[in-house]
Amino acid sequence: MTAATYTIVGGDYEHGGAASRALKEQLKKVGADPAVVRRAMIAAYEAEMNVVIHAERGELRAELQSGQLDVEVVDEGPGIPDVEQAMRPGYSTASATARELGFGAGMGLPNIKKNSDQFAIESAVGRGTRVRFTILLKPQSLYGAGRHSLHIVAERCKQSLHCVRACPTRAVRVFRGRPEVLDYLCIDCTACIAACPTATLVMKGTVDVLPPAGDFVLVVTPESLVQFGAGVTPARVLSELGALGWRDVRTTADWDAALRAAVIDYAWAEAAARPVISPACPAVVNLIEMRFPSLIPQLAPFESAITALATDLRGQRAAFVVSCPCQRTALLAGEAEPKPELILPAALRAAVRPRVRSNTSSAGSPPAANGVPKTPGNQILRVTGVRHVLGVLEAIEDGLAGDVRAVEPWACDAGCFGSPLLAEDPYLARQRWVPPAGAPAAAQAIRRRRPFEPRKGLRLDSDMGKAIQKLAKIDKMTRALPGGDCAICGAPTCAALAEDIVLGRATPDACVRRPAGGATAPTTGSAPDQEKGP
Amino acid sequence: MRIDELARRVGAQVLVPGRNINIDPEQVYAGDRISDLLNAAGDHALLVTNLASTHLMRVAELMDIPGICLVNGQIPDEAMRQAAAEHGTLLMASPLGLFQTCGRIFQTLHEESRPAS
């Protein structure tokens, strides 16, 4: 724990912000997440400037202890006669001088509240004001929170550790009996969801009932339309959905096709680096940004099909049936307004199943024979399943795939049909997918405006010297561990556990196979933070 | 698009070079109130403002904002330049008003939607 007190002088605009700056240095030293630092800075600067603007003098006291930052800003000033009024956005009593400098927007206190996890204010007229706020830190991640759509229902965990072993980027840990996802490693694929036998890992923030039909355009993916057994065609499901009274029902199928066509065009006409990699699956894009930054120039510069369709529906209320976490993340990150409603495939199944039940017993029959179907040729190599995607990306990175012009990698088996949130077997479902006939929608691929960017990974310490020391400790620790990668400790490999121990996420006794009295753990210098999952 | 390239295209003069990184088209904010700018901040952000003050530079420093564009031909004083240079904030000045400057920035960033690679 560290504590510090900084003096703030009322009316001293020139040095206003000095306390916040000192606090920022502290936060950087402990390796706080930049998103957390940003929130802390907004709150601290607003509180500090309130003292400068309104009071004679004051103090900012900051206390850093395991997992949280507590700040108290106390002043000797006029006090606030009506705190409720002062909390209202836009209300300000700042002087003309302050306003000229850009202060006095009446957003100070609301800003502090908005950016902190706990907030309290006390004020006495003629005596002064005390503002306290707390911000929870997430020490290990330098990657913005909320970029994946996994949710952990910790009480369901039976510690099978399947998720730890299944994660292709080694982002999952199960310490202290609960799973934890390291944000900076998670690529938002479905591997852990698929592996978990107790549904501890689920998709975040989706609803399992359909919204009122009349108000919304419903968007469904091909994979969600083939979840009703052999006898129920996608066209049938679409017509049943149409009968429910949606303003419109759209599928992403045309948009998938438009994206594929655009990527193929791009690969033949425009691309400098080959093979071109399709950005169709957002989880694969995350994987490339994190683990294969050298392949970023090979990503075709387009938005995913679901983002393109969401952009097309801008201004309309839309409800998307999302098959996997990365579709959800893509929709929430998109610029479509209003934000679409996000619905679990199970909700669609529940709504449609009663209407098609009579048909589910029928075995169905293969489509009428109109000769052998034409294959699309070798224009684009489709790779599905995260293991194979990793293999192909590695081959591309090593220059072993020069014969391939364009690749379309999907994290789930059989593409989106393999999402564990769906019910039917991926391959049966894909076989049953037939694009419904009808007027072709004006689907198109959309060029990205933001370039793909390598993901900032873990920085061991913001101080380079300390980071190097930590790296050495991790090395030493790794050698001290058995090296069997049994994962019983809750970390996927011995090297991962070594890193966790040095960074304070786990304790050395986590390893159950370490020879007693054998290799001793290098100490981390301070007691490890008992960081709880998000 | 990198900030200096953006400055060149919108006709703004770079007064203090800084971390010359790509600006995220979704992180360009205009405003004259510190609270708004504080809230808008991001590490790929550009702030477009009339506020030629050292407080603005303090905000840029606290929030890791890589670029500031002053409008209406305002020339920052020495203290402001020095603060910018210290923290690696790129400081540019546009001869146009807030509205016109933003218009040009918008047009430039959104026409240039294709990534360089």
What pLDDT is recorded for position A530?
41
What pLDDT is recorded for position A34?
77
How large is the average pLDDT for residues A489-506?
Answer: 89
Give the nearest chain A residue to B108 (CA atoms).
Answer: A449
Whether A111 and B63 lie within 8 Å, measured CB to CB: no
Higher pLDDT, A498 or A364: A498
Residue in A33, A42, A285 to test binding to B, most B beta-carbons within 10 Å: A42
Tally of helices (H runs) and strands (E runs) in chain B:
5, 5
String of DSSP letters for A280-340: -SHHHHHHHHHH-GGGGGGB-SB--HHHHHHHHTTTS-EEEE--SHHHHHHHHHS--SSPP
Query: Domain B3-110 is of which CATH architecture?
Result: 3-Layer(aba) Sandwich (3.40)
Does the pLDDT of residue A513 top 70, yes or no? Answer: yes
Residue spans of beta strands (DSSP E) within A176-236: 178-181, 201-203, 217-220
What pLDDT is recorded for position A518?
46
What pLDDT is recorded for position A459?
65
Is pTM beyond 0.80 here? no
DSSP bridge pairs for A150: A203
pLDDT tens for A262-321 read 999 999 888 878 899 999 999 999 999 888 888 999 999 999 999 999 999 988 889 999
Q: Which of B33, B62, B64 sits opposite A105 (nearest CB)?
A: B33
Model ipTM value: 0.87
How large is the average pLDDT for residues B29-43?
Answer: 87
pLDDT tens for A344-366 read 888 888 889 888 875 444 455 55
Task: Tell me the residue length of chain B.
Answer: 117
Higher pLDDT, A210 or A59: A59
What pLDDT is recorded for position B114?
45
What pLDDT is recorded for position B112?
58
Q: What is the CA radius of gyration of chain B?
A: 13
What pLDDT is recorded for position A43?
94
For residue B114, the chain A residues in CB contact (below 8 A) are: 301, 447
In one letter, which amino acid is A219? V
What pLDDT is recorded for position A250?
92
Model confidence at A462, pLDDT cuts 50, 70, 90, reads low
Domain spans in chain B, listed from the N-terminal domain onward: 3-110
Maximum pairwise Cα distance, chain A = 91
What pLDDT is recorded for position A515?
63
List the single range of A321-330, A353-362, A433-442, B28-37 with lowest mean pLDDT: A353-362
Whether A272 and B39 lie within 8 Å, measured CB to CB: no
Q: In B, residues 40-79, which contact A (CB 8 Å cutoff)?
A: 41-43, 49, 51, 53-56, 58-59, 61-64
Euclidean distance between CA atoms A488 and A514, whole angstroms: 12
Q: Which of B26, B35, B115 sits opposite A107 (nearest CB)?
A: B35
Q: Are A434 and A226 in contact (CB under 8 A)?
A: no
Residue spans of beta strands (DSSP E) within A354-429: 381-384, 406-410
DSSP bridge pairs for A504: none
Does the pLDDT of residue A62 top 70, yes or no? Answer: yes
Chain A interface includes B107 (CB < 8 A): no
pLDDT tens for A17-59 read 999 999 998 888 777 777 788 889 999 999 999 999 999 999 9
Give the nearest chain A residue to B21 (CA atoms).
Answer: A453
Angle between helices A325-333 and A305-312 (to 10 degrees): 40
The 10 Å Cβ neighbour count of residue A353 is: 17
Higher pLDDT, A337 or A225: A225
Whether A335 and B26 lie within 8 Å, measured CB to CB: yes
Model confidence at A145, pLDDT cuts 50, 70, 90, reads very low
Higher pLDDT, B67 or A463: B67
Model confidence at A339, pLDDT cuts 50, 70, 90, reads confident
Q: In A, residues 430-459, which contact B (CB 8 Å cutoff)?
A: 447-453
How large is the average pLDDT for residues A202-217?
Answer: 80
Model confidence at A201, pLDDT cuts 50, 70, 90, reads very high
Does the pLDDT of residue A418 top 70, yes or no? Answer: yes
Euclidean distance between CA atoms A474 and A481, whole angstroms: 11
What pLDDT is recorded for position A315?
86
Q: How far is A357 from chain B (nearest CA, A)?
A: 47
Euclidean distance between CA atoms A383 and A411, whole angstroms: 8
Model confidence at A524, pLDDT cuts 50, 70, 90, reads very low
How large is the average pLDDT for residues A136-162?
Answer: 72
Whether B55 and A13 lie within 8 Å, measured CB to CB: yes
Does the pLDDT of residue A519 top 60, yes or no? Answer: no
Q: How far is A337 from chain B (nearest CA, A)?
A: 14
Lookup: tokens for A342: 């996000």
The 10 Å Cβ neighbour count of residue A509 is: 10
For residue B2, the chain A residues in CB contact (below 8 A) are: none
Q: What is the mean pLDDT of chain A?
A: 84
Whether A447 and B114 lie within 8 Å, measured CB to CB: yes
% of chain B residues with pLDDT over 70: 95
What pLDDT is recorded for position A20?
94
Higher pLDDT, A335 or A83: A83
Reading across the β-sheet that carries B90-93, which strands appear in turn?
A: B13-16, B90-93, B67-70, B46-49, B28-30
What pLDDT is recorded for position A442?
81
Does the pLDDT of residue A458 top 50, yes or no? Answer: yes
Q: Which of B32, B43, B61 sits opposite A34 (nearest CB)?
A: B43
pLDDT tens for A389-399 read 998 999 998 88
How large is the average pLDDT for residues B68-82?
Answer: 93
Whether B58 and A449 lie within 8 Å, measured CB to CB: no
pLDDT tens for A175-200 read 877 888 988 889 999 999 999 999 99
% of chain A residues with pLDDT over 90: 40
What pLDDT is recorded for position A403?
81
Whether the link from the prior residue into B76 is cis, omega within 30° of 0, is no
What pLDDT is recorded for position A187?
92
